[in-house]
Amino acid sequence: DSGVTQTPKHLITATGQRVTLRCSPRSGDLSVYWYQQSLDQGLQFLIQYYNGEERAKGNILERFSAQQFPDLHSELNLSSLELGDSALYFCASSVVGPGSDTEAFFGQGTRLTVV
Amino acid sequence: GESVGLHLPTLSVQEGDNSIINCAYSNSASDYFIWYKQESGKGPQFIIDIRSNMDKRQGQRVTVLLNKTVKHLSLQIAATQPGDSAVYFCAENNYGQNFVFGPGTRLSVLP
């Protein structure tokens, strides 16, 4: 158990809909990362938050948005869903801050299926 | 943009043999590297890391080698076991920025 909790584990929804994925980082971790993994693909970085502020942005679609709350949990919002958005969405957390580095711990992911 | 990539998308080894998984990175400013293991249906799991001021780091049955001259990273697994079958990703990081992952190598351990 990595200590990172993601909910829900599975989500099935229709095209055009909007969903929210939730992530609770490990206790003490200030950074949260979101990644998308399509079938048999690598991990595509979406966005990173550090202590409530957006830190880095990857290939995140405009239909997607995220935020990190004062209690450090994070939510990833996916709207106007398309079939191609079906994927595993991973959240990771680390203590990393500016000028430091440490490993990121991953949650078990949310499997999103858009039908 | 800069990215991390892998030479071998799949690797099959006999149980008990040593495995070597390679990774090339292009961002010379990256100063921290991690190998992750991902089993089917699970999130990536940290295996071992190495900082850019090191050439080699050893863990339990795993060794990571870093060659900054040619921007190459490798993961060596000794006495490969069936439980090592998974997809292995290398990832790079630059001063606490986001982790950039390679496409992954699938390791298959043959009985």
Chain B residues with CB within 8 Å of chain A CB: 31-32, 34, 36, 42-46, 49, 51, 89, 91, 93, 95-104
Q: How deeply is A62 buried, as exposed, middle or buried, from its count of CB atoms within 10 A (0-12, 13-18, 19+)?
A: exposed
pLDDT interval class at B5 (50, 70, 90): very low
**Phi, psi (5° rounding) for residue B83?**
-70, -10
Per-residue model confidence as pLDDT tens digits over B52-109 = 999 999 999 999 999 999 999 999 999 999 999 999 999 988 766 678 888 889 999 9
Average pLDDT of the residues of chain A: 91
How far B98 CA sits from the closest chain A CA (Å)?
A: 7
The predicted model gives A64-88 an average pLDDT of: 97
Residues 6+ apart with CB under 8 A from B3: B25, B26, B27, B100, B102
SS3 A43: coil
Task: Give B7-22 pLDDT, tens digit per residue.
Answer: 448 899 999 999 999 9
Whether pLDDT at A100 is above 60:
no
Q: Do A45 and B31 touch (CB under 8 A)?
A: no
Q: Which pLDDT score is estimated for B36? A: 94
For testing contact with chain B, the best of A74, A88, A101 (most B CBs within 10 A): A101
What pLDDT score was predicted for residue A64? 97
Residue A85 DSSP SS3: helix
User: By the 8 A CB rule, do A98 and A83 touch?
Assistant: no
Are the Cβ atoms of B95 and A101 closer than 8 angstroms? yes
The predicted model gives A52-63 an average pLDDT of 91
More confident residue, A82 or A1: A82
Which DSSP string do the residues of B49-93 spell out, in sequence order?
A: EEETT-SEEE-SSEEEEEETTTTEEEEEESS--GGG-EEEEEEEE
Task: Considering only residues A15 and B92, tell me which one the structure prediction assigns the higher pLDDT.
Answer: A15
pLDDT tens per residue, range A36-46? 998 767 888 89
Q: What are φ and ψ of residue A74, in 5° steps?
A: -130, 155
Nearest to B97 by CA among B20, B22, B1: B1
- H-only helix segments in chain A: none
Go through B63-86 and write b for each residue having 16 or more CB atoms within 10 A of its CB, e for each that does not: bbbbeeeebebbbbbeebeeebbb
